[in-house]
Structure formats: structure tokens, C-alpha cells
């Protein structure tokens, strides 16, 4: 097996495992020589896919968004380049075997972090982003935000380890301030702090389907609903399975218990992290001084 490149994804929970099994089948069909690393709570469900390297994993971030960090940690430890795909991405055609990406972090979709967080409305993450920019002396005009559904990380003389380290610490800070998603912001900040190269590759390397991306393309007249209706139907079937009332109540209770369990574990882990303490104190002081100056 070549250690040059791999796909990777996160599939914890039955819904995400169902999506990931379809993704694994797509890769087996269109790119059988490229391994797929899957972090999942049920590795046994991927035993029929010889190209899948399944690692047992339980969610560590509050809502699971920042667990992409752990996927990249596992993948980049073995492979030079890892292509992260959300588990519900579908590959629709041949994948070129000569894919090559520059060292650092490469996004398919994204923009500047300020544009994303100020464009149509000011997002709740903006004060935290500005505080981090002040703390680390960043020019936020040069910091990127990238869509988290598809991105590439390639080794860069060890800077990828610093990138992952800062992602972890910043993830604590954002989650402790009750912002559990938006990991594209944290990734952009972590890359800037680490001097980890960032850029975008705007053209599709291979044909794919991702529901939110395709809806945007359809809205802009760049795609058509009838062409993509089979993928939308499959996606909808997995996302919204038929459940009776008892199953719905049980699912809701499990979600609530899981949320508070992971929040508590994250809280304890953050308190034990000395770098988070230093960062949190500095950023809270900045936010307080900014509030008084307005």
C-alpha cells in the first residue's frame, strides 16, 4: 500500500456509518488503490471493504465537529497527504491517481475568515476570532475560512503537528464559549498561527455530490435538481429514517445525555490544558477591554 495519499472521514453513529459505507463503496469503485481511513464507533461494519482502515473512535468534541482533528491526526501519521471528506459526500466518477496538493492546508470551498463571519450578518464566532487575532498578532484579512466538508492536509516539515496542536487548543476555547461548530474558522486560525500554508483549489478534481454544496450550485444555475435527484433521495432516506414515537424519544434522550457527557469531558480536558488556560485568560481580557471601549 502506498503511503503517499489517502481519503479519510468520520463516521460515529448509525446515520454517519450508513453514509460512510456508501462513500467506501464509491471509492472502491472509482479509486480502489486509494485507502480510506474511517474513525468510527463500529469498525466491524467496514470489514467488507478491503481498502478501508477503520479505527475505533468515540466523539470527543461536544457536537463532534472538531473530531475531524483526530481523523487528520490518524491519517497524517501514516500518509503524506490526506483528503478529508464528510461521510455523506458521494464520489460520482473516476478519481485521478496523480492527484497532487501543495504542503499545508488546501480547501475546495471558502473565503477570508472576515468575509465569512461578516458577510450577510455578524456571526457569533466573530468576537472570538478577533480576540485570537489580537492574541497571536494575526492579520485577519489574510486568514482563511474553509468549508469543512472537503479539504486536504499535506505534511509540511512538521508544521502539520503545530497546526493540529493549535486546532486542539482553539477548539477548547470556542467550545467553552458555547460555539461547537464552525471548525473551518478554527482551522484557518490554527494554520495562520502555525505558519502552515493555506490555499484553495477551486476546480473539482473528481465529480462528487454533497447536499449543501449541490443546493447552492442549483440555486446559482450551475447544476440541476433532476440530475441529482437520486443522490438527494438516498441522502434524505439516511438522514430522516422512519421511527416510531418510542424510537424518537429514545434518540432525543440519548442525544441530550451524550451532549452533556461530552461537554463535561471537554470541560475537564480543557481545565487540564495549561495552554488553554493562558489563551483563555488573555482572550477574555481582550474581550472585556473591547467591550468597555465600545
- Sorted by where each starts, the structural domains of the chain and their CATH numbers stand as 5-209+264-293 (3.90.550)
What pTM value is reported for the model?
0.94
Q: How distant, in Å, are the alpha carbons of 12, 17, 33, 41, 119 from that of 249?
A: 20, 21, 43, 22, 38
b vs e for 20-33, b when ≥16 Cβ sit within 10 Å of the residue's Cβ? bbbbbebbbeebee
DSSP character at residue 180: -
pLDDT in tens, the chain (294 residues): 678 999 999 999 999 999 999 999 999 999 999 999 999 999 999 999 999 999 999 999 999 999 999 999 999 999 999 999 999 999 999 999 899 999 999 999 999 999 999 876 788 999 999 989 988 999 999 999 999 999 999 999 999 999 999 999 999 999 999 999 999 999 999 999 999 999 999 999 999 999 999 999 999 999 999 999 999 999 999 999 999 999 999 999 999 999 999 999 999 999 898 888 878 877 777 666 665 555
Helix axes 274-293, 159-176, angle to 10 degrees: 60
Judge whether 117 and 185 are in contact, CB under 8 Å: yes
Q: pLDDT, tens digit, for every residue of 195-209?
A: 999 999 999 999 999
| Dihedral angle sign, alpha carbons of residues 82, 97, 21, 108 | positive
**Rounded-to-integer distance, Cα 113 and Cα 185, Å:** 7
Q: pLDDT, tens digit, for every residue of 130-167?
A: 989 988 999 999 999 999 999 999 999 999 999 999 99
Judge whether 54 and 40 are in contact, CB under 8 Å: yes
Amino acid at each position: 500500500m502506498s503511503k503517499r495519499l489517502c481519503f479519510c472521514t468520520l463516521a460515529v453513529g448509525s446515520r454517519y456509518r450508513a453514509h460512510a459505507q456508501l462513500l467506501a463503496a464509491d471509492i472502491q469503485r472509482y479509486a480502489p488503490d486509494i485507502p480510506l481511513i474511517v474513525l468510527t464507533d463500529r469498525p466491524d461494519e467496514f470489514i467488507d471493504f478491503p481498502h478501508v482502515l477503520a479505527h475505533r473512535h468515540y466523539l470527543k468534541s461536544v457536537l463532534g465537529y472538531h473530531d475531524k482533528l483526530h481523523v487528520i491526526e490518524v491519517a497524517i501519521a501514516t500518509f503524506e497527504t490526506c483528503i478529508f471528506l464528510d461521510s455523506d459526500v458521494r464520489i460520482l466518477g473516476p478519481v485521478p491517481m496523480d492527484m497532487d496538493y501543495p504542503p499545508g492546508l488546501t480547501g475546495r470551498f471558502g473565503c477570508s475568515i472576515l468575509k465569512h463571519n461578516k458577510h450577510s450578518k455578524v456571526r457569533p464566532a466573530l468576537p472570538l476570532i478577533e480576540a485570537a487575532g489580537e492574541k497571536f498578532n494575526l492579520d485577519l484579512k489574510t486568514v482563511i475560512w474553509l468549508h469543512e466538508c472537503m479539504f486536504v492536509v499535506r505534511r509540511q516539515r512538521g508544521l502539520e503537528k503545530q497546526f493540529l496542536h493549535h486546532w486542539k487548543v482553539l477548539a477548547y476555547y470556542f467550545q467553552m464559549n458555547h460555539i461547537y461548530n464552525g471548525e473551518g474558522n478554527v482551522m484557518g486560525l490554527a494554520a495562520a498561527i502555525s505558519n502552515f500554508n493555506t490555499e484553495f483549489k477551486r476546480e473539482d478534481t473528481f465529480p462528487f455530490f454533497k447536499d449543501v454544496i449541490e443546493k447552492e450550485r442549483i440555486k446559482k444555475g450551475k447544476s440541476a435538481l433532476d440530475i441529482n435527484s437520486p443522490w438527494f433521495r438516498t441522502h434524505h432516506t439516511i438522514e430522516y429514517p422512519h421511527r416510531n414515537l418510542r424510537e424518537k424519544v429514545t434518540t432525543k434522550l440519548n442525544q441530550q445525555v451524550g451532549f452533556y457527557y461530552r461537554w463535561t469531558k471537554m470541560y475537564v480536558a480543557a481545565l487540564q490544558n495549561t495552554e488553554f488556560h493562558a489563551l483563555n485568560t488573555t482572550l477574555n481580557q481582550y474581550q472585556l477591554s473591547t467591550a468597555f471601549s465600545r
